[in-house]
Amino acid sequence: MSKAILIIGGGIAGLCTAITLQQIGMKVKVYEKNTHPSVAGAGIIIAPNALQALGPYRISDEIIRQGNPGQGFYILSDRGRPITQLTIPSGYGSLYSIHRKDLHQILLSALPPGTVEWGKPFLQLEQKDHQVRVAFSDGSEAMGDLVVAADGIHSNVRKQIFHKDTYRYAGYTCWRGVVSGEALPGSSHHFIETWGTKGRFGIVPLPNNKVYWYALINARQGDPRIANYTTKDLHHLFKNYHDPIPSLLLKTTPHDMIHRDIVDIAPMERFCSDRVVFIGDAAHAITPNMGQGACQAIEDARTLAECLSVQSNYQRAFADYENRRRKRIKQISDQSWKIGKMAQSESFLFTSVRNQLMKHAPKWIYRNQAKRLYQFQL
């Protein structure tokens, strides 16, 4: 039986959920607080597990067509010396980098016109015996059989239902930007992450000769001095790192740069509450150290649709979804947290030992870890 499902949030998680649920015959409406499609100007990497999850919907083909492929990450020292290479196992395909706005457009294009209603900030919901009433800040309301909370790490739906936040500051802060890749000394087509005692720096080629970069440094949470850093401040910090890092920062304007402290949430004890189910960052925001935040949201969307398609009772479907997702999310969340702590060390002695251990670690260790990470299973 088809159900009317209200999705709160029109980001990657919400749009993917709308696509997967429509494919199984559900009546879906997405409510997004922004008044029009608006995505922060940064890049994103879609890993093989997310492409597998999106496989039945022809979205993977479009991401591959529009994206830039990479076979993994090269981890370098601040001098540009190789530490290790984290490659995609044979037979798993590639990573694909793409601008977030382009990915957003791919997902929107896969939905019938009118699926998304813009300018609808969530205000509150009320669960009744057979329906859920959702009220929005503009005074409008919507009724549905079920609600999917896909409204991100600062989910207002989660705050209303569970009344407590489980935010964890990771201990470091992040800047991101996208610039032209023309005339960059030392530029490469590889995906690179540089680990040094002054911070981490990532370089990811995008389509159309663009470059997505990100920089992470240790800092107090909400430090106003750090929050006001300019590209000149970042250049001063990373000026002795290998090319093209200093040049990338000199090419970046304040308009091109986004700053956020890195925060995650411990995976929720429950991913559902009666007729409301949580997906993506609303349920389990992950630090970005494994590039799996959006990918796990995509896995959530596919798994939720599968559970609703095989279980006629929504409570059993939600319980099945939670059981399928909890262990994997917990493992990835914990591993990503540990990687961040290891990668952000400012100790010269520790980083020297770490780099040597990583350089000489048996390749099968990472290969086995990568196979588990990049294999999507319903």
With a cut of 60, say whether residue 345 has pLDDT above it. Answer: yes
Element (H, E) at 226: helix 224-227
Pairwise pLDDT comparison (268 vs 78), residue with the higher score: 78
Give the closest residue to 236 by CA, choosing from 245, 227, 228.
245
Do the beta carbons of residue 374 and residue 88 sit within 8 Å?
A: yes
Cβ neighbours around 173 below 10 Å, total: 24
- pLDDT at residue 163, as a whole number: 81
Cβ neighbours around 105 below 10 Å, total: 15
Structure tokens at 31: 């409510």
In this prediction, what percent of the chain has a pLDDT beyond 70?
99
Nearest-angstrom CA–CA distance, 218 and 357: 23
Nearest-angstrom CA–CA distance, 127 and 72: 45
Residue 122 is classified by DSSP as: E
pLDDT in tens, 290-314: 999 999 999 999 999 999 999 989 9
Nearest-angstrom CA–CA distance, 100 and 245: 22
- pLDDT at residue 183, as a whole number: 79
Do the beta carbons of residue 277 and residue 145 sit within 8 Å?
A: no
Give the closest residue to 63 by CA, choosing from 10, 112, 11, 107.
107
CATH superfamily of 4-167+264-373: FAD/NAD(P)-binding domain (3.50.50.60)
pLDDT in tens, 314-344: 999 999 999 999 999 999 999 999 999 999 9
Give the closest residue to 166 by CA, choosing from 75, 285, 59, 260.
285
Residue found under tokens 């919507």: 142
- pLDDT at residue 41, as a whole number: 66
On the question of a cis peptide bond just before residue 244, with omega within 30 degrees of 0, the verdict is: yes
